[in-house]
Amino acid sequence: QKEVEQNSGPLSVPEGAIASLNCTYSDRGSQSFFWYRQYSGKSPELIMFIYSNGDKEDGRFTAQLNKASQYVSLLIRDSQPSDSATYLCAVTSNYQLIWGAGTKLIIKP
């Protein structure tokens, strides 16, 4: 059974600080990695995807991928209260997405 693991949290971060979210996966053959954000009572929406080892930056968000260690992370710089949400990591495996259970992030003003 392919797995994606995330710390459920909640992760509490002061406003303006860097939030660091981590995800590990079991399938060494995984090629695509996604971070989705889900506000309470809403459906998931894509923040970023990454395919290659290293960092990918988009505004305040940076995705980091390390295939050798089988982890992917999401950094949120200058955290805002509007970033408070559950962040879902999803990893491709045999043309399906395997989802982590999500990390709840709370940004404290």
Residue 104 CB-density burial (10 A; 0-12 exposed, 13-18 middle, 19+ buried): middle
Interface size with other proteins, residues (CB under 8 A) = 23
Q: Can residue 21 be called a binding residue for other proteins (CB under 8 A)?
A: no
Q: Can residue 66 be called a binding residue for other proteins (CB under 8 A)?
A: no
The residue range among 12-20, 57-65, 66-74, 92-100 that interacts with other proteins, by the rule CB under 8 A, is 92-100
State which residue, 6 or 79, has the beta carbon closest to other proteins: 6
Q: For the beta carbon of residue 89, count every other beta carbon within 10 angstroms.
A: 27
What is the C-alpha separation between 100 and 7, in angstroms, rounded? Answer: 9
Q: For the beta carbon of residue 99, count every other beta carbon within 10 angstroms.
A: 15
Q: Can residue 61 be called a binding residue for other proteins (CB under 8 A)?
A: no
Q: For the beta carbon of residue 107, count every other beta carbon within 10 angstroms.
A: 20
Interacting residues toward other proteins by CB under 8 A: 4, 8, 31-32, 34, 42-46, 49, 88, 90, 92-97, 99-102
